[in-house]
Chain A
Amino acid sequence: MANDPMKQFEIAPIVEGPQLGPIDTTFTNSSLWMFIAVFGVIILFGLATGRKLIPGRLQSLGEICYEFIADMVKDTTGPEAMKFFPFVFTIFFFILFANLLGMNPWAFTTTSHLAVTAALSFFVVGMVFVMGIVKNGLRFFKIFAPSGLPFIMYFLIVPIEIISFIARPVALSVRLFANMMAGHVMLKVFAIFIAWLISLGGVYWAAAIVPVIGTTAIVALEFLVAALQAFVFAILTCVYLNDVYHVDH
């Protein structure tokens, strides 16, 4: 392995695809791991679709996941938003699997790339915007002007609300990508530090135990972050979807 902690994020082509206008369809290690994550989710939940009255373990797992996301959508947005339930479910498990698969050695963490998280985030916010206008017409723009304020306040509040709306996809994408990247860089730096201490030998060899413990702790932390960031992304999607249904917030 290379000593550059950024090397793990390099996109390496596997099969070159045709250039479709501005779109490069080259199949890369990132694409491969996206497929692995997607097939992982499909296989897991494909096996979990039992219809038994008393569920087995896999069926229980499937139902727990189903109800976890369904409750998230219902509690955050409301039962009328259940038509977005498959979308939130896909978001959560795509990101969760991408994050967790990225924890494996030699795996590529697709969600550590801004391109992926930005595309997801802009799609979520764009979808909220389009669905909001489809559902509420021009009334949707009331989300920028909460009712019941003194008139003069609108000159302050409306720009703030607009900026915060625009900041949503940026915050959403940077949060996920930065968390995943920072964790992996930190792991790599600690690991390189271990190798470096061992190569020095002598007392340093014994001192390598400190970064070993540190790395182990960070691995545990990164598993937490992997799950937590998927959850944060999914629940923020629900929070944003709330605007589609509740213009007067």
Chain B
Amino acid sequence: MAAETKYAEDAAHKAAEASGGLPQLDFSTWSSQIFWLVVTFGLLYFVLSQFILPRIGQGINERSDRIADDLDSASRMQQEAEQAVIEYERTMSKAKAKAHNIAEATRKSIDADIAKEVEAAEADFAAKQSVADERIAKKRADALSQIDKVAQDTTAAIVQKLGNIKPTAAQLKKALGAVKG
């Protein structure tokens, strides 16, 4: 209460003195304003610089660190993926080559088998043919040798019937030999 009356008196006094001058140029209020400015500004500076700004800055740094880390690991993973692709392609081409080799080898062995079988079959066939040829030749010789006898017998029979003569074997042989040439 006392303060207000004191200030009111002061203000009235000053108003009369300065006749409506700017309150800003009333230097009696300066020390109070500056005192409280120092207090409030100092308080704000203290709180901001000690507590608030470091935390905001830390938040920003943590995020940028995190982003940099994530970018790093992303590029590392990409490299790994590229490595894996190269690895895969190498394995693939190796497998392809191996498969090709196996196919080739199999084909060759099968070809060889086929050739062997064919050869064996041909040999068998040739053997069988020669046996058959021999048999044919023997049968033929047999047949031919039988023909002479049959001819002699037939001739003897005909001659006996016609001439009532019984030719000797030697005669028959001679006669037939002449016919045969």
Contact = CB atoms under 8 A, between A and B. Distances in A.
Contacts of B62: 51, 53
Contacts of B43: 38
A129 interface: no
B125 interface: no
B45 interface: yes
Interface of B is mostly: helix
Interface size class of B (residues with CB under 8 A): 35 or more
A89 to B, nearest CB: 6
A31 B48 contact: no
A221 interface: no
B88 interface: no
A11 B56 contact: no
A108 B6 CA distance: 21
B144 interface: no
Interface of A is mostly: helix
Contact of A90 (B30, B41, B63): B41
Contact of A45 (B4, B35, B56): B56
Contact of B34 (A11, A15, A38, A115): A115
Contacts of A90: 41, 44-45, 48-49
Given A13-B3, A28-B36, A34-B40, A66 B60 contact: yes
Given A41-B48, A45-B52, A49-B52, A11 B40 contact: no
A198 interface: no
Contacts of A120: 37, 41
B102 interface: no
A43 B177 CA distance: 151
A115 B20 contact: no
Contacts of B22: 6, 9
Contacts of B118: none
Contact of A12 (B7, B28, B37, B48): B7
Contact of B36 (A22, A31, A51): A31
Interface string B22-46: 1111101111111111111101110
Interface size class of A (residues with CB under 8 A): 35 or more
A192 interface: no
B11 interface: yes
Interface string A110-123: 10111110011000
Contact of B24 (A28, A49, A113): A113
Interface of B: 2-4, 6-7, 11, 20, 22-26, 28-41, 43-45, 47-49, 51-53, 55-60, 62-63, 66
Interface of A: 4, 6, 9-13, 15-17, 22-28, 30-31, 34-35, 37-38, 41-42, 45-46, 48-53, 55, 59, 62-63, 66-67, 85-87, 89-90, 93-94, 110, 112-116, 119-120, 177, 181
13 contacts: A10-B11, A13-B7, A16-B6, A24-B28, A31-B33, A34-B37, A38-B40, A51-B55, A63-B59, A66-B53, A114-B25, A115-B34, A120-B37
